[in-house]
């Protein structure tokens, strides 16, 4: 039998975590799959478990003039019904799994699981999100790209938990989100594409481009975005071959049971091409 703790506050969760080095269990939709055993056996939790999905401090969403702060244990369903959550994040979340999983799965679980196919990750990278990590009386804030190190690995210490996600407000008037899976719903991503732009008259004042599931971590290049930013749409159309060639060097997919390397790379570049040609105009 494994010890299970159900703390009554965030402070209590942090205290138990520092003492026990336990497994944090939010919605459990990744953990129950990862730790499953053959039929009839209970999942294999080899360390104490701390349930955190019910903690109200981790389920709050607050909105200020500068940013929105999302509690790590907000479920996808909660995100979909909150008016301050950016539209592109809602579009992404609405395509994750099925209603039952969206009622349990949390944004914090998706981030901490750090799967290359985690759907919220490219959107959070594109929105310049940061994460707040808490441990015994201390907090640190990291940009999401510094939090995730590689497939399934983050910089989270054994006594730390992710409490909130900060998304600075930004204004974009063009967005294109595309998840490519085997089915329209209840499928993991073969590829996902996030494109955001702020276009004023004929100039693109801001742009963000991110790809999911095509490299060990999300592909986003602030350097290439800087080359596009401030340009006239005609100039951008002429730059398309060069932009595609830059991203082609960064996109490094694997072949696995969901898709193969060639398909992932080709479709990624097609989606980028479509964003630059159709959404910037």
Ligand X SMILES: Cc1cc2nc3c(=O)[nH]c(=O)nc-3n(C[C@H](O)[C@H](O)[C@H](O)COP(=O)(O)OP(=O)(O)OC[C@H]3O[C@@H](n4cnc5c(N)ncnc54)[C@H](O)[C@@H]3O)c2cc1C
Specify the residue, 46 or 234, whose C-beta has the smaller distance to ligand X: 46
Residues in the chain: 281
User: Under rule CB under 6 A, which residues in 137-156 are in contact with ligand X?
Assistant: 156
Q: Residue 15: which H helix or E strand, with range?
A: helix 10-20
CB of 199 to ligand X, least distance (A): 29
Residue of minimal Cβ distance to ligand X: 109
- Within residues 67-126, the interface with ligand X by CB under 6 A covers 72, 96-97, 101, 104-106, 108-110, 112-113, 118-119
Alpha-carbon 148 to chain mean position: 10
Q: Nearest approach, Cβ of 281 to ligand X (angstroms)?
A: 31
Q: Which one of residues 25, 125, 147, 175 is an interface residue with ligand X (CB under 6 A)?
A: 25
The residue (of 146 and 277) whose beta carbon lies closer to ligand X is 146
Locate 124 and state its tokens.
Answer: 């959070």
- Cα separation, 118 vs 106, whole angstroms: 11
Based on CB atoms, which residue is closest to ligand X, 27 or 195? 27
Q: What is the DSSP secondary structure assignment for residue 245, as one 8-state letter?
A: H
Return the residue of 68, 162, 243, 269 that touches ligand X, per CB under 6 A: 162
8 Å CB contact between 100 and 18: no
**Binding of residue 161 to ligand X (CB under 6 A):** yes
Nearest alpha carbon to residue 279 among 222, 221, 194: 194
Residues β-bridged to residue 196 = 175, 208
Contact between 43 and 32 under an 8 Å Cβ cutoff? The reply is: yes
Which residues 51-70 are close enough to bind ligand X by CB under 6 A?
52
Using the minimum distance from each CB to ligand X, give the nearer residue, 112 or 197: 112
DSSP SS3 for 177:
strand
Choose between 58 and 207: whose C-beta lies nearer to ligand X. Answer: 58
Residues binding ligand X: number (CB under 6 A): 29
CB of 80 within 8 A of CB of 74?
no
Residue among 34 and 237 whose Cβ is closer to ligand X = 34
Strands 23-25 and 49-51: parallel
For position 29 contacting ligand X by CB under 6 A, the verdict is yes
Would you say 108 or 195 has its CB closer to ligand X? 108
> What's the min distance (Å) between Cβ of 33 and ligand X?
5
Strands 138-143 and 148-150: unpaired
Task: Find the binder of ligand X among 5, 10, 13, 27 (CB under 6 A).
Answer: 27
Distance CA 115, CA 214 (A): 11
28 binds ligand X (CB under 6 A): yes
Q: Where do the DSSP E strands lie in the chain?
A: 4-5, 23-25, 49-51, 61-63, 67-71, 130-135, 138-143, 148-150, 153-154, 161-168, 174-180, 191-200, 203-212
- Which residues make up the interface to ligand X (CB under 6 A)? 23-31, 33, 52, 72, 96-97, 101, 104-106, 108-110, 112-113, 118-119, 156, 161-162, 188
């Amino acid at each position: 039998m494994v010890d299970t703790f159900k703390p009554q506050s965030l402070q209590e969760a942090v205290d138990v975590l520092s003492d026990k080095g336990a497994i944090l269990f939010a919605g459990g939709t990744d953990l129950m799959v990862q730790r499953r055993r053959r039929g009839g056996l209970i999942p294999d939790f080899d360390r104490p478990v701390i349930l955190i999905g019910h903690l109200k401090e981790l389920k709050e969403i607050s909105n200020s003039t500068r940013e929105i702060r999302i509690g790590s244990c907000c479920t996808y369903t909660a995100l979909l019904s909150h008016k301050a959550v950016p539209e592109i994040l809602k579009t992404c979340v609405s395509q994750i799994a099925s209603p039952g999983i969206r009622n349990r799965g949390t944004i914090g679980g998706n981030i901490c699981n750090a799967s290359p196919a985690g759907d919220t990750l490219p959107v959070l990278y594109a929105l310049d999100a940061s994460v707040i990590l808490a441990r015994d009386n201390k907090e640190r804030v990291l940009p999401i790209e510094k939090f995730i190190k590689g497939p399934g690995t983050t910089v989270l210490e054994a006594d730390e938990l992710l409490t909130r996600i900060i998304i600075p407000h930004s204004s974009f008037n063009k967005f294109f989100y595309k998840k490519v899976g085997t089915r329209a719903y209840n499928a993991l991503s073969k590829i996902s594409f996030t494109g955001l732009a702020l276009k004023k008259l004929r100039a693109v004042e801001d742009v963000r481009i991110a790809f999911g599931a095509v490299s060990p971590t999300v592909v986003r290049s602030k350097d290439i975005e800087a080359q596009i930013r401030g340009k006239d749409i005609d100039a951008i159309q002429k730059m398309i071959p060069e932009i595609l060639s830059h991203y082609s060097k960064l996109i490094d997919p694997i072949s696995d049971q969901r898709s193969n390397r060639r398909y992932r790379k080709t479709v990624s570049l097609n989606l980028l091409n479509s964003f630059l040609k159709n959404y910037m105009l």
